[in-house]
Amino acid sequence: MGAEEHKRRAPKKFKFAVITVSDTASRGEKEDKSGKFLVEELKKAGHERVLYKIVPDEKIEIIGAVVEAFERGAEVVVTSGGTGIASRDVTIESIRPLFDKELTGFGEIFRLLSYEEIGTAAVMTRATAGIIRSSGRAMAIFCLPGSLGAAKTGVKIILKEAGHVLKHGRE
Ligand SMILES: Nc1ncnc2c1ncn2[C@@H]1O[C@H](COP(=O)(O)OP(=O)(O)OP(=O)(O)O)[C@@H](O)[C@H]1O
Ligand SMILES: Nc1nc2c(c(=O)[nH]1)N[C@H]1C(S)=C(S)[C@@H](COP(=O)(O)O)O[C@H]1N2
């Protein structure tokens, strides 16, 4: 079966969780434009159930939010922020060890599209994705940079591929 046939047969509507990772937004010092944008776009695309949480750039808080999303039945998690190289950017270090399989292609395509938008500064993100399997379930996670531009670029890829990723992740 080809990729298009796989996508056609993949489930279409999922329970999402958006997790914003930001020190300033978690303290209420900055509006979480990116997280709110992601929630709206996912709902507009017909994914009615979208959990939403803001956490500071702290490993245990990030892992805790991922675990909470899984326990609340999320099938796809999108994180926003903390993918850079500053010492406080720990989203990738926190989430990557949870992956059963990493989807490195997501980061490659995300950086390719980002290069067209922001040029070589696209090297600054370690955006990635993966599948976590537990208790007979699979959950896909996509980790995006915190800017609104990154959320706009990332959500387009996620909306196109989430079903396909989940279909194979459940196999
Ligand atoms: N939740 C968000 N909504 C909108 N823009 C954001 C958000 N998080 C980060 N950005 C923007 O993305 C860019 C780079 O992100 P970076 O992780 O350095 O953000 P930051 O504001 O330093 O994060 P923190 O809140 O953790 O200190 C900055 O221009 C920042 O304003
Ligand atoms: N598409 C896109 N990718 C992007 C950006 C952006 O604005 N748009 N910002 C870059 C910048 S400036 C940084 S520092 C890194 C990491 O951002 P983060 O720490 O918020 O995850 O993402 C990069 N990738």
- Positive or negative, the CA dihedral 94, 38, 124, 163 is positive
Looking only at the bridges linking them, the beta strands covering 16-21 and 50-55 are parallel
Angle between helix axes 148-169 and 33-44 (nearest 10 degrees) is 50
In a domain, 120, yes or no: yes
**Cα gap 18→153, rounded to integer Å:** 15
In a domain, 5, yes or no: no
**Host domain of residue 63:** 14-23+35-169
Give the pLDDT of residue 155.
98
Give the pLDDT of residue 154.
98
**Cα gap 24→1, rounded to integer Å:** 46
pLDDT tens per residue across all 171 residues of the chain: 676 776 666 668 999 999 999 999 999 999 999 999 999 999 999 999 999 999 999 999 999 999 999 999 999 999 999 999 999 999 999 999 999 999 999 999 999 999 999 999 999 999 999 999 999 999 999 999 999 999 999 999 999 999 999 999 899
List, chain by chain if needed, residues with CB within 6 Å of any ligand 1 atom.
20, 22-25, 30, 32-35, 57, 80-81, 84, 146-148
In a domain, 143, yes or no: yes
CA of 2 to the centre of ligand 2 (A): 33
The whole-angstrom distance between residue 155's C-alpha and the CA centroid of its chain comes to: 8
Angle between helix axes 104-118 and 148-169 (nearest 10 degrees) is 160
Pocket probe for ligand 2: among 108, 125, 142, the residue whose CB has the most ligand atoms within 8 Å is 125
Give the pLDDT of residue 9.
65
- CATH number of the domain at 125, please: 3.40.980.10
In a domain, 119, yes or no: yes
Consecutive H or E run containing 108: helix 104-118
* Domains in the chain, number: 1
In a domain, 58, yes or no: yes
Nearest to 61 by CA among 81, 85, 37: 81
In a domain, 4, yes or no: no
In a domain, 7, yes or no: no
